[in-house]
Amino acid sequence: MSIEFFESEVIKAWEKFNQTFGMLATGDIRLRQETILKICNLGCFSKKISQAESRSSVQEEIQKFIKIRNALNDVFCQIENYLNERRNLDHEEECSRAEKKHLG
C-alpha cells in the first residue's frame, strides 16, 4: 500500500462523514463525536505511517488504521441504510395520502 492510499482514505472518510451526517436532521451527538475522533485517529495514523522509515516499523499502526477505517465504513453504511428506509417510509406515506385524497 502506498502512502497516498492512507491519505486518500482519510479524505474519503471526511467526505463520507459530511455526506452521511449532513443528511441527518437530528442525530446521536455521541456517535457524531466518536466518528469525528475516529477520523482524526485515521489522520494521525496516516501521518505516522507516511513518516516511517520502514513499513515493518508501523505494521501495528497499519492494522489499527484498517480496523478503524472498516468500523467507520460500517457506521456510514448503517446511517445510509437508515436514511434509505426513512425515505421509503416517507414515500409510502405520501402515496397513501395521495391515494386517500384521490379516492375520498
Tell me the three cell numbers of residue 53.
522509515
Mean pLDDT confidence for 1-8: 83
Q: Give me the pLDDT at residue 104, please.
A: 60
Beta carbons of 20 and 76 less than 8 angstroms apart: yes
Task: Give the pLDDT confidence score for residue 5 in this predicted structure.
Answer: 92
Cβ distance 75 to 63 under 8 Å?
Answer: no
Give dist(CA 88, CA 90) in Å, integer. 5
Q: Which conformational region is residue 20 in: left (phi greater than 0), alpha (psi within -120 to 50 degrees), or beta?
A: alpha
Per-residue pLDDT of 55-95, as tens digits, reads 889 999 999 999 999 999 999 999 999 888 887 776 666 77
What's the chain's Rg over C-alpha atoms?
20
Helix residue spans in 23-58 (DSSP H): 29-51
Mean pLDDT of the chain: 87
Whether 47 has a pLDDT exceeding 80, the answer reads: yes
Whether residue 53 is predicted with pLDDT greater than 90 in this model: the reply is no
- Higher pLDDT pick, 74 / 54: 74
